[in-house]
Chains A and B, each alone.
Chain A
Amino acid sequence: MADASLGLWTVPLAVFGGAIRVSTPFLFVSLGECITERSGRINLGLEGTLVMGAMSAYGISYLSGSPWLGVLAAGITGALFGALHAGICSLPRVNDIAVGIALMLLGTGLAFFLGKPLIEPTAARLPAIDFGWWSDVPQLRAALRINVLFLIGVAIAPLLYWAFKTTRWGLLIRTAGESADAARAMGHSVLLIRLRATMVGGFLAGIGGSFLSLFYPGSWNEGLSSGQGITAVALVIFARWDPMLCLWASLAFGGAAALGPALQSVGITSGYHLFNAAPYILTLAIMIITCSPKRTLTGAPAELSITR
């Protein structure tokens, strides 16, 4: 498979291509979670939302023939899961972390249940834009076949950064996250703000799932997501709740996740599973480096239970 003229250069090239391809679900989930966490709640259930999104996108794309309808369906499914999370969390004395774990299990279970008939058929997939038309190197062309969803995700990051900083909605979400009492004193319902923030977060996470089933790897099966959702949630923490940092972190993660397959393509197969665990090891390593028992993290919303 490896082009002789490229030799070991295939590896960084594949990692680069992978960074773009594999990072998209990380990007969408982390941006979604960023919105939710800024409002003062953590939704660990995005792993389940991601898988549900992947399943519903594949199903709708298969039934309707339109992958974009699938993406929309994935977003709506995600928003519904977000509403469920926020709804249960708004009951008194309910722990948001525990609800997230429950929805993680429910989401994956439901997706496997409903997705059983979807393992065989082939659904219409999302198109890619060929940015590598000028090159003769097939690996480079493959790396530069970029999906529109990635570009949308890249556009959402600065948009979100701007929205948090300057818009009324951004201010409301930040107020709810920093001090629920202050938001209440301003006459706003904290529960309603968090409901909306969690629904938008779920919507984005669902779209991240649709990328998995409709573009890369581009099929529906039960092993589609193994922890991308939870990794993305962790990623928000060391991205310091900053949408732009979420973007860079997602790209780094995509690259790490592409390392295993890239090395395999040049014939380095030993340690394949260990390289595949690279994103998890990287997440843990970065969390160990950036967290501290002495102080709460800079930028952490004060209402967030996870930073206690």
Chain B
Amino acid sequence: MTTETAETVEAAGVAPAADPGFLQRHGASIEYILIPAAALVGALAVFGGFVALYGKNPLDLYFYMYYGAFGTAFSWQNTLTRAAPLILTALCTALPAQLGMVIIGGEGALLIGALSATSAALALQGAAPIVVQIAMVIAGMIGGGLWIALSGGLRQYRGVNETISSLLLVYIALAILNHLVEGPMRDPASLNKPSTREIGAANMIGSIPGTDVHWGLVFGLVAAVAAYILIYHTTFGFAARVAGGNIRAAKIVGLSVGKLIMTVCFLAGSCAGLAGMIEVAAVQGRTNANLAAGYGFTGILVAFLARQNPLAIIPVAILLGGISASGGLLQRRLGLPDASVLVLQGIIFVFVLASDALYGRIGLLKGKS
């Protein structure tokens, strides 16, 4: 990303300054925490004002948001359960971002991943649960991976803008899902809510012992750490970041940009596909339209708020998971519509993007150059 290269240049300029003091020395890294945090606070303040216009007390709002997200053991579990798919769908945006691509189709890859995983489980009925579960993981990741690789391939080989194609593919994925669960894959017993047959209780991935949080969270954490290592500590990740910074330079030094794009997009999609598999195997137990719950879209926000850094995605996903976990409480206690979470997410997104303009401009953190 261009902003990041600007940042590194600035950081390099800061280093040789004589005794620049702590703030100046760590200015760039402090900025990465301070500015998103300030954007978040600003967004919460605006949302509070918005809710006040709606006739509710903003202080009540903040209290219930905190209480519903992190106030009790129950709300923590709710938050973490929601954070799991968010980490994975955020990776679907963050990985291609290293190459300078803006992929916003995580929701589609999630749905296709869920469908593939369900198909695998239904095809393997009767096999040992561990076999079924592994097959589900593989099928979900391949399904989601191919879905985003399609966007990457179209960008690389046909010059089709990946942002638009990935979003169009979300609607196509949703249509395929609706078609299959209402037609060929429909369980005749599901009357009101057309669904596929259940994958079977034995094949569900359970909760982490001692909690109600399912194993999906561990999947998410492992994927985020693996993505971090891949991007910052392997030659592959380095090549990807070079190509993201300057595609012409990457070609001159002999990097195969096409291969990079396809691999990164496949990995990104397989993360979102894994999220779909988890939603099936840990929450829903079958595929139906409930899966299009918007995790893919919130994941975009998580990735941008985390500045596309896989490790930063973990706390941000927990935060955003907490906000959506508190939605129910806001509805019950304050009588706010369920869309209030969407409004807050939108406001946060706007603030985070606008705050991009602040980097390198805070006087106190600026090195003498």
Whether the pair B346, A292 counts as a contact (CB closer than 8 A) is no
Whether the pair A234, B159 counts as a contact (CB closer than 8 A) is no
Whether the pair B164, A277 counts as a contact (CB closer than 8 A) is no
Separation in Å of the B320 CB from the closest CB of chain A? 12
Whether the pair B349, A105 counts as a contact (CB closer than 8 A) is yes
Separation in Å of the A281 CB from the closest CB of chain B? 6
Whether the pair A97, B337 counts as a contact (CB closer than 8 A) is no
Whether the pair A281, B172 counts as a contact (CB closer than 8 A) is yes
Binds A, one of B118-126, B175-183, B236-244: B175-183
Residue B353 at the A interface, CB < 8 A? Answer: yes
Residue A186 at the B interface, CB < 8 A? Answer: no
**A109 with B346: in contact, given A230-B164, A288-B158 (CB under 8 Å)?**
yes
Which residues in B have their C-beta under 8 angstroms from that of A13?
none
Whether the pair A288, B154 counts as a contact (CB closer than 8 A) is yes
Separation in Å of the A67 CB from the closest CB of chain B? 25
Residue A94 at the B interface, CB < 8 A? Answer: yes
**A231 with B168: in contact, given A97-B102, A116-B339, A292-B159 (CB under 8 Å)?**
yes
A61 CA / B360 CA spacing, docked (Å): 48
Whether the pair B172, A102 counts as a contact (CB closer than 8 A) is no
Within 8 A of B (CB), among A72-109: 84, 88, 91-95, 97-99, 101-103, 105-109
In the complex, which residue of chain A has the Cβ closest to the Cβ of B346?
A106
Q: Give the number of residues in A that approach B within 8 Å (Cβ atoms).
A: 50
Which residues in B have their C-beta under 8 angstroms from that of A91?
354, 356-357
A271 CA / B353 CA spacing, docked (Å): 40
Whether the pair A226, B171 counts as a contact (CB closer than 8 A) is yes
Whether the pair A109, B168 counts as a contact (CB closer than 8 A) is no
Separation in Å of the A240 CB from the closest CB of chain B? 14
Whether the pair B3, A93 counts as a contact (CB closer than 8 A) is yes
Per-residue interface assignment for chain B, residues 322 to 337, with 1 indicating a CB less than 8 Å from any chain A CB and 0 otherwise:
0000000000000011
Whether the pair B172, A270 counts as a contact (CB closer than 8 A) is no
Whether the pair B349, A234 counts as a contact (CB closer than 8 A) is no
Binds A, one of B30-38, B84-92, B297-305: B297-305
Per-residue interface assignment for chain A, residues 225 to 247, with 1 indicating a CB less than 8 Å from any chain B CB and 0 otherwise:
01100110110010000000000
Which residues in B have their C-beta under 8 angstroms from that of A234?
164, 168
Which residues in B have their C-beta under 8 angstroms from that of A237?
161, 164
**A277 with B357: in contact, given A287-B160, A294-B159 (CB under 8 Å)?**
no
A95 CA / B104 CA spacing, docked (Å): 14
Which residue of B179, B343, B347 contacts A273 across the interface (Cβ within 8 Å)? B179
In the complex, which residue of chain B has the Cβ closest to the Cβ of A98?
B353
Which residues in A have their C-beta under 8 angstroms from that of B160?
284, 287-288, 291
A271 CA / B179 CA spacing, docked (Å): 6
Whether the pair B168, A284 counts as a contact (CB closer than 8 A) is yes
Which residues in A have their C-beta under 8 angstroms from that of B154?
287-288
In the complex, which residue of chain B has the Cβ closest to the Cβ of A116?
B337
Whether the pair A93, B172 counts as a contact (CB closer than 8 A) is no
Whether the pair B353, A113 counts as a contact (CB closer than 8 A) is no
Which residue of B165, B168, B342, B353 contacts A108 across the interface (Cβ within 8 Å)? B342
Which residues in B have their C-beta under 8 angstroms from that of A230?
164, 167-168
Which residues in B have their C-beta under 8 angstroms from that of A26?
none
Which residues in A have their C-beta under 8 angstroms from that of B159?
291-294
Q: Which of A94, A231, A277, A306 has the most CB of B within 10 A?
A: A277
Residue B228 at the A interface, CB < 8 A? Answer: no
Residue A195 at the B interface, CB < 8 A? Answer: no
A270 CA / B346 CA spacing, docked (Å): 37
**A113 with B171: in contact, given A102-B353, A288-B158 (CB under 8 Å)?**
no
Residue A147 at the B interface, CB < 8 A? Answer: no
Whether the pair A287, B346 counts as a contact (CB closer than 8 A) is no
Per-residue interface assignment for chain B, residues 1 to 42, with 1 indicating a CB less than 8 Å from any chain A CB and 0 otherwise:
011001000000000000000000000000000000000000
Residue A112 at the B interface, CB < 8 A? Answer: yes
Residue B284 at the A interface, CB < 8 A? Answer: no
Separation in Å of the B50 CB from the closest CB of chain A? 9
Which residues in B have their C-beta under 8 angstroms from that of A62?
none
In the complex, which residue of chain A has the Cβ closest to the Cβ of B343?
A109
Which residues in A have their C-beta under 8 angstroms from that of B2?
93
Whether the pair B168, A101 counts as a contact (CB closer than 8 A) is no
A233 CA / B161 CA spacing, docked (Å): 12
A89 CA / B27 CA spacing, docked (Å): 25
A273 CA / B163 CA spacing, docked (Å): 23
Whether the pair A106, B337 counts as a contact (CB closer than 8 A) is no
Which residues in B have their C-beta under 8 angstroms from that of A107?
346
Whether the pair A274, B349 counts as a contact (CB closer than 8 A) is no
Which residue of A106, A272, A287, A294 contacts B349 across the interface (Cβ within 8 Å)? A106
Which residues in A have their C-beta under 8 angstroms from that of B354?
88, 91, 94
Which residue of A102, A116, A284 contacts B165 across the interface (Cβ within 8 Å)? A284
A231 CA / B297 CA spacing, docked (Å): 17
**A103 with B158: in contact, given A97-B102, A113-B337, A230-B164 (CB under 8 Å)?**
no
Whether the pair A110, B346 counts as a contact (CB closer than 8 A) is yes
Within 8 A of A (CB), among B170-198: 170-172, 174-176, 178-179, 182-183
Which residues in B have their C-beta under 8 angstroms from that of A98?
102, 304, 353
Residue A276 at the B interface, CB < 8 A? Answer: yes
A273 CA / B304 CA spacing, docked (Å): 32
Residue A212 at the B interface, CB < 8 A? Answer: no
Within 8 A of B (CB), among A193-225: none
Residues of B in contact with A (beta carbons under 8 Å apart): 2-3, 6, 102, 104, 154, 156-161, 163-165, 167-172, 174-176, 178-179, 182-183, 297, 300-301, 304, 336-347, 349-350, 352-354, 356-357, 359
Contacts A/B (CB < 8 Å), 11 sampled = A44-B163, A88-B350, A105-B301, A109-B339, A272-B179, A274-B179, A277-B172, A277-B176, A280-B175, A287-B165, A293-B159
Residues of A in contact with B (beta carbons under 8 Å apart): 44, 48, 84, 88, 91-95, 97-99, 101-103, 105-110, 112-113, 116, 226-227, 230-231, 233-234, 237, 270-274, 276-277, 280-281, 283-284, 287-288, 291-294, 306-307
Q: Which 7 A-B pairs have the closest CB atoms?
A: A106-B346, A109-B342, A277-B175, A112-B339, A102-B349, A91-B357, A293-B159
